[in-house]
Amino acid sequence: MHPAFSVIFFTVLSGAGFGLFALIYLADLFKLGGGLPGAYVFWTGVLAIVMVGVGLLSSTFHLANPKNAWRAFTRWRTSWLSREGVLSVAFYPFALAYLALYWLELWPAARHFAGAIATLLAWLTIFSTAMIYASLKTIRHWNTPLVPAAYLSLGHFSGGMILLVVAMMAGVQALPFVLLSLFQLFVAAFVKAIYYYWIGRLGAGSTINTATGFTRAQVKLLDAGHTHGTFLTQEFGYIVPKLTAVSLRLISMLLAFAVPLVLLYFALEYHSLALGIAALVSVFAGLVAERWLFFAEARHVVNLYHGAQRC
């Protein structure tokens, strides 16, 4: 698949934004680290909402006809893309209400109610985003429950790293936040490791034989029937060179998980905010590489009509 930058940017940023919001609410609810000071909760919440908003806006950049984008809210009964839109917009009033009540220090019960609903919607939105990909029968690299698992765990891990840096800035007890991040780091790393293992061994699927119906002979494409590229070759024809894929996998796993793990250890040891921020930057660099690969490594079955033997 052709990796579109706007979609990479959108999924990484809004995933982290939703994850961050959910964790802020939970940290507030459980008074993690003795409870973050109010102003920190508020401004981190604002950051989460801005990240989600910027991500969603950037996702409209890959539309060829954005003037009809409002219609995407209409087919939520069948389409995960539509559900993502509806849920993410529904998230806003609850998230804003939560933050407003926090700012005004009013009605704690109502605040918690709004926060809980917004958190639930954040989870459902990340799930919908992942299901956009996971529901496609045409792309086996995506058609697996590991995709929503990865989106949810990576969104929470990257959002949690932001929260950790905020906790260090606020000067509250950092250990609970570090433990939370460590836990999420391991879950996300395991899910991604399983995913890479899985897509390396997909087993039987569609082949050039089932695509043409000639299942009792060897089939070979002689001519794809177009002079230059088509929409199909531009959108689906991209193939990552094997070496690039392997090295990027390594780089993304290192940057997203291994480097932050080491940095977190020293950040806690030396109470160093700078090391915490370095860990955060490393995570996001790793996630951009991870998301680029997620798209670039996916193989659409239409390639069987352009010469691929199996997909």
Partner 1 sequence: MRLGLVIDLDVCVGCHACAVSCKQWNASGTTGPLTDYQPFGAEPSGVWFNRIRHFEVGTYPNNKTVNFPMSCMHCEDADCVTVCPTGASYKRAEDGIVLVDQDKCMGCNYCSWACPYGARELDRESGTMKKCTLCVDRIYDQAIPEAERQPSCVLTCPAHARMFGDFDDPNSEVSKVVREREGYVLMPELGYNPTNHYLPPRKHKPIPTDIGADKAGLAGKLKQFVNRMVKR
Which parts of this chain interact with partner 1 (CB under 8 A)? Answer: 62-69, 71-75, 78-82, 85, 132, 135-139, 205-206, 208, 210-214, 217-232, 235-236, 300-302, 305
Q: How far is the CB of 269 from partner 1 (least distance, A)?
A: 47
Distances (CA, A) of 50 to 60, 82, 117: 16, 21, 18
Q: How far is the CB of 300 from partner 1 (least distance, A)?
A: 7
Q: How far is the CB of 243 from partner 1 (least distance, A)?
A: 27
Distances (CA, A) of 272 to 36, 164, 193, 277, 296: 18, 12, 30, 9, 37
Which is closer to partner 1, CB of 166 or CB of 211?
Answer: 211
Which is closer to partner 1, CB of 124 or CB of 264?
Answer: 124
| Joined tokens for residue 252 | 């993304």
Give phi and psi for 307, each to the nearest 5.
Answer: 120, -15
Which is closer to partner 1, CB of 117 or CB of 211?
Answer: 211
Which is closer to partner 1, CB of 161 or CB of 301?
Answer: 301
Q: How far is the CB of 293 from partner 1 (least distance, A)?
A: 18
**Can you say whether the dihedral through the CA atoms of 242, 245, 251, 257 is positive or negative?**
negative
Which is closer to partner 1, CB of 187 or CB of 224?
Answer: 224
Q: How far is the CB of 187 from partner 1 (least distance, A)?
A: 28
Locate tokens 């069987």: which residue? 304
**Three-state secondary structure of 152-167:** HHHHHHHHHHHHHHHH
Kindly calculate the radius of gyration of the chain based on its CA atoms and give it in whole angstroms: 22
**Torsion angle of C-alpha atoms 251, 255, 256, 260, degrees rounded to 10:** 150
